[in-house]
Amino acid sequence: MTLRLILTRHAKSDWADPLMDDHDRPLNKRGRKSATAIGAWLAARGVVPDIAFVSSAERTRETWARIARGFDKRVPTAFRDDLYHAEPDAMINALRGASGGTVMMVGHNPGAAFFARALLAQPPADARFDRYPTGATAVMEFEIDEWPALTWGTGVLTGLVFARDLV
């Protein structure tokens, strides 16, 4: 069986108020447009999650809400404190507890960048992938029957987009 992960770093956040708590920071105008475009890109490819794991931060929640508008179905969503600035080990542990054939995870850097690279058997030779800029979205497939069997370095990249290329 093949399981699929959609890994998205939140879209561009708003820094107009430098005193705002980081967890509460929303998206800026470009981020809102980018998140909507990512949802349309995924939907056009028929890549729709069965469940979404989203960091509890405002910018990830808003990124997810705008992406989800592009889907024809309502996707069950878990807003998770453990994904706020999570490291790869926390991210893989969350994913190992998932159900569903396609899981979307919306998180932050640097964890998302390290997580994406560590999951793939053959990471792309694109410097942007290593930076995993805001709005970066990778679609990965794993030849496993259930998420608890997920191991590092076994994924195949089947889709990759950078928000800047969409808007």
The 10s digit of each residue's pLDDT in 42-51 is 999 999 999 9
pLDDT score, position 50:
98
Q: Which candidate, 79, 81, 129, 127, places its Cα nearest to that of 109?
A: 129
Average pLDDT, the chain: 97
Percent of the chain with pLDDT over 90: 98
CB 78 within 8 A of CB 61: no
Which pTM value belongs to this model? 0.97
Residue 44, Cβ density class (10 Å: 0-12 exposed, 13-18 middle, ≥19 buried):
exposed
Q: Residue 23 class from Cβ within 10 Å (0-12 exposed, 13-18 middle, 19+ buried)? A: middle
Here the CATH number for the domain that contains residue 88 is 3.40.50.1240
For residue 139, what are the CA distances in angstroms to 21, 41, 96? 31, 12, 17
Q: Which residue(s) pair with 105 in the sheet?
A: 7, 53
Q: How far apart are CA 156 and CA 143, in angstroms?
A: 9
Task: Encode pLDDT of 35-75 as tens digits.
Answer: 999 999 999 999 999 999 999 999 999 999 999 999 999 99
pLDDT at 93: 98
Residue 130 binned pLDDT confidence (cut-offs 50, 70, 90): very high
> Is cis: bond before 148, omega within 30 of 0?
no
Q: How many domains does the chain have?
A: 1
Please list the alpha-helical segments (H only) found in the chain: 29-44, 58-68, 88-96, 111-119, 127-131, 163-166
Torsion angles phi and psi, residue 68, rounded to 5: -65, -25
Q: Domain span at residue 58? A: 3-13+22-166
- Residue 85: pLDDT band (50, 70, 90) is very high
Q: Which residue has the higher pLDDT, 18 or 147?
A: 147
